[in-house]
Amino acid sequence: MTKTRRLDKFAIAAALQEIAALLELKGGKDRFKARAYQAGARVVGGLSEDIGEVVLENRLTSLRGIGDALASQIEQLYLTGESSVLRGLKKDFPPGIIELSGVPGLSTAKIKTLHDALGITSVAELKAAAEAGQIRIIKGFGAKTEEKLLETIASHSLRAKNEERLHLHRALQTASQVTDYLQTSHDTTDITLAGSLRRWKETVGTIRIVANTTRPAALIKHFLGFPLVVEVIEQMEEASTVRLADGARVSLVAASPSEFALALLTETGSEAHVNKLHRIASDGANRQEAKSKRSKNPGRKSKPSTELPTEEDIYHQLGMQYIPPELREEQGEIEAALAGKLPADLVTFADIRGMVHCHTTYSDGKHSIEEMARAAEAMGMKYVTITDHSPTAFYAGGVTLDQLKQQWEEIEEVQEKVKVKILRGTESDIVADGHLDYPDKILEQFDVIVASIHSRYKMDSAKMTKRIVTAMQQPVFKIWGHALGRLIQRRPPFECDVEQILDVIAESRAAIEVNGDPWRLDMEPRWIREARKRKIKFVISVDAHSTGAMNNLKYGVGIARRGWLRKSEVLNTLGVKAFQNAVKPA
């Protein structure tokens, strides 16, 4: 078969994802290959230049994570529309295997039997066959199995629909693939992320996108043609929700230019925030109506404006300040906006002057001091703090006193070569009794100390509280690192009396970190707001173990804004001298 149509990057990414899913099903050492294909799919899907050019100029292997084997498959897919690896894998499995293998308890062998006996290639066909009593007569299945299968399908699809939330980091990756694809449609001026993603929530149920378009129906059609769509959950003329091959749920609202702002506001949520705006709007309308009746004026309508409304306009018409998405949680932001009391200087990405909390090869980081310094400089930073682990964190290659001497010498050497100011720091362990790692006379020589807990998480609340209080009361100035030790979707925050600790910090030489590692995002917004009441200062850090992880900064800023942090409350918005003075340990 010859094909002349060239596949675009999304179709190629979809094929790579299919290969990955099939390799995953084979199991064993093919799992590792699966991961490579998965990563390759992400790289190709997220490519900002034309895939054709990259292929034709033989530059595939210069892309990160793409080796020779992967490159050859991408080339084949682009040039011929097919992949030899995919063809080979498909021979090994019955059709529909990827979707069917998602049903718990259904092994590859069983799926093959079902296919051979009944020609089943999808979950829908499986369900229909079970309901018609066709499964029970297949050898090795039986009535009980059939009944169980129906239950499983019901609960499985329910769970998939309602409960699974994507981690913010993955949701953003997937969302940018979809928006890239949507940009290729004509007549679309504006594609914007909405929902909890726009509000920088830690996890995302549905990736919500709002488009500004003069041809909504055509855009929805284009959306449904996205190659990674495996299921259409809901479809209307101007909106649709789908599920992608990786399980992500994505909804698109295609709004005409005059409706775009309101659609964006509604889709951004939160629900409670939007509902309250509605109540305010209808109260206002009722008052207006009553007023015009009393004055016996023929209800004079306000002149239709020729300018298209923006979200800002909508808030202003309701008699309040514009509310940034990160604040829209119905936690006092509407009352503050009505009173004109929202912070005007909420911290922004552009405010950050220093890259705080960076690891290097001296402990468990991937890159050298020089590489980290240059990466920070490339992002426009004025300073970078090198804060490797302290000796107690032996599992993370904590820096011993001898190595520390060496590191400080290296910092001096690198400083000769770069403009960004390199500050000597440590991420000192808060040991079990609350003291900091390294002797005091060493601690006093650092430029900056991040103090974190890395072990013994499971103390009872009283002991943990005492441990942290002791740490915060140490005479050196320290920044409380990834405060409550949570790992999103993996480990809850540890138990302690946060308010008591905040009271102590307010009286101590200490600040609190907002950790931008997307798995930590600690401390969380409600506690940031509690700390703000006590006038405690913060840093927004990256906790970077590689140069790439400096991109964590956007997450840190997002979570800080959700905590209503102002620029003046964030120490690393200061210039280098002022920052050094603010965090000087002794």
Chain contacts with Zn ion (rule: CB under 5 A): 427, 452, 543
Residue 396 C-beta: closest distance to Zn ion, Å:
8
Residue 365 C-beta: closest distance to Zn ion, Å:
9
Residue 135 C-beta: closest distance to Zn ion, Å:
52
Residue 268 near residue 199 (C-beta atoms within 8 A)? yes
Residue 538 near residue 583 (C-beta atoms within 8 A)? no
Which amino acid would we find at residue 515? N
Residue 427 C-beta: closest distance to Zn ion, Å:
5
Residue 356 C-beta: closest distance to Zn ion, Å:
10
Radius of gyration of the chain (CA): 28
427 versus 522: smaller Cβ distance to Zn ion: 427
Residue 429 C-beta: closest distance to Zn ion, Å:
9
Q: Percent helix, strand and coil across the chain, each rounded to 5?
A: 50, 15, 35
Residue 397 C-beta: closest distance to Zn ion, Å:
12
How many CB atoms are closer than 10 A to CB 42? 19
Q: What are phi and psi of 530, to 5 degrees?
A: -65, -45
Residue 423 C-beta: closest distance to Zn ion, Å:
15
427 versus 569: smaller Cβ distance to Zn ion: 427
Token reading at 41: 């799919």
Closest C-alpha to 130, from 103, 160, 158, 96: 103
25 versus 443: smaller Cβ distance to Zn ion: 443
* 3-class SS of residue 75: helix
Helix H, strand E, coil C: the string for 101-162 is CCCCCCCHHHHHHHHHHHCCCCHHHHHHHHHCCCCCCCCCCHHHHHHHHHHHHHHHHHHHHH
DSSP secondary structure letter of residue 31: H
| H runs (alpha helix) in 339-460 | 369-378, 401-417, 440-443
Residue 157 C-beta: closest distance to Zn ion, Å:
39
Closest C-alpha to 484, from 494, 469, 473: 494
Cα(65)–Cα(430) distance, integer angstroms: 37
101 versus 452: smaller Cβ distance to Zn ion: 452
Cα 573 to Cα 111, 188, 449, 550: the distances in Å are 58, 37, 17, 16
Q: What are phi and psi of 51, to 5 degrees?
A: -60, -35
Residue 213, CB half-sphere, CA atoms under 13 Å: how many? 27
Q: Facing residues of 479 across strands?
A: 450, 511
37 versus 519: smaller Cβ distance to Zn ion: 519
Q: Facing residues of 209 across strands?
A: 193, 252
Cα(183)–Cα(85) distance, integer angstroms: 31
Token reading at 78: 């682009």
Residue 399 C-beta: closest distance to Zn ion, Å:
12
Residue 359 C-beta: closest distance to Zn ion, Å:
6
329 versus 543: smaller Cβ distance to Zn ion: 543
522 versus 543: smaller Cβ distance to Zn ion: 543
447 versus 543: smaller Cβ distance to Zn ion: 543
Residue 285 near residue 318 (C-beta atoms within 8 A)? no
DSSP secondary structure letter of residue 187: T
383 versus 519: smaller Cβ distance to Zn ion: 519
329 versus 427: smaller Cβ distance to Zn ion: 427
| DSSP letter string, 434-476 | SPBSS-HHHHTT-SEEEEE--S-----HHHHHHHHHHHHTSSS
106 versus 431: smaller Cβ distance to Zn ion: 431
Helix (H) or strand (E) holding 541: strand 538-541
Residue 201 C-beta: closest distance to Zn ion, Å:
23
Residue 371 C-beta: closest distance to Zn ion, Å:
17
Q: Is the preceding omega at residue 270 within 30 degrees of 0, hence cis?
A: yes
18 versus 427: smaller Cβ distance to Zn ion: 427
76 versus 428: smaller Cβ distance to Zn ion: 428
Cα(265)–Cα(571) distance, integer angstroms: 32
Residue 454 C-beta: closest distance to Zn ion, Å:
6
Q: Is the preceding omega at residue 464 within 30 degrees of 0, hence cis?
A: no
452 versus 474: smaller Cβ distance to Zn ion: 452
